[in-house]
Structure 1
Amino acid sequence: MIHQDAVNKAGAYIEAQKIISKLLGNINVSKKIGKVRKLFASAITPKGFVNHLDSVIGCNDKVYRIIGEPGTNTSKLLELIMEDAIKKGLDVEAFYCPIDPENKIEHLVIKKLGVVFITTNDFHDLKVVNSQIIDMNKYIDYTILNQYFDVLQYDYRVFRELLETAITTIHDAKKSHDYLETLYIPHMNFDKVKQSEDKTLERILKYAEELNI
């Protein structure tokens, strides 16, 4: 709530319009909308917070790094760009936040244009030579945030502690899982497993072919 009160919500629309005009302005609305492929580029794992932003960037020519504190509507910015891209017939890859996968896009790739948008923060960052910066922090009224400095520091500290607890719990669960595997593996018929895998893959490929995916 504190960040919501301190952030100019028009910022996401202003920055999105700049990007859309620059990259998509000359592309007309298509009779066939583009497809959205939903993915993850980062995860909370037994080893901690892991990301593969380098694979997201891939061989794309234009890289935009989005910088923004919590509440600066970085996800809304990407949603607006994505919506314009797909209505103009461009396929996109949308990478979602593992903490809030229902609502928050963190990264976006438009392969046909060779463009990738990377949201950077304390948990995932990647230094890219010649990347262009979109600074969403310029839409923050810091006179409001500074009034709640101690509260925000406390909230951040608690968030990190909860995240560390989650990672420890996942790590302990992985250890238990690995131990159970040592009990099951000697008694598994992996030939049967492979047969089941092949049948399942055949069904998936047939289904994909019918849907022309």
Structure 2
Amino acid sequence: MNKKNTLKALAPIQLAYTKDFDDKRMKFYVEMLLDINPVTLEQAVYNVIQKSKFVPSIAELREEATKLSNYVNAVEEVPAAQIAWERVIQVAQFYGYEKGLEQLDGLTLRCARAIWSSFDPRRGNDYNESSCRAQFIKAYEQLESRERERLRLANSIKQNELLLQARKNAEQEKAMLETGNKKIPSMATCNLIELVKAPRKPVDVKKAIEDADVSEKTKTLLRGVLGG
């Protein structure tokens, strides 16, 4: 984004909090908020100023800008875990065990798969709704939190070409691994090292013994083992 436009969007903060917001701090805010659309950022600034007695933090401005962006772009809120569970129950009752999963999507579908066998009529009365509900909601909340964090990180590197390229490379490698076109063994250090297949060259053992930095006695013993 253009620094000049970001600076303009943040200008109201300096006017509202003159004593606590000097040029040095303004410059830092500009750098940290450069990735946000200036139009969205400007509105976020006005919104936060109206309800804050103190200088808004960078995190507060980002949070408000995100809310505005989601609203403007009609991004639907992720349904709460309880609402998602009620959806699962309705689908299971109306469509049945065989076709119910086809009516679900997103996080709801991912979490429902783990407990869907509970709705299998062949299990008879072996169904504990409290247990299934608790398992579903726990999994849903964990995945929801993970997804929000993933989106936060994705948004944070939008302007960083090096990190974006690194992410792209990682996704490509992952796709290759999943299709079996590439094999990467996991080492004991937990680092991934790419396996490079190189043609093996024959080893001249006798020459290796002669070149080895060992005593002549040891060399004689090794020659005896090799029968030479």
After TM superposition, the score normalised by the length of structure 2 is: 0.21
Greater helix fraction, Structure 1 or Structure 2: 2
Greater strand share, structure number? 1
- TM-score normalised by length of structure 1: 0.23
Rg bigger for which structure?
2
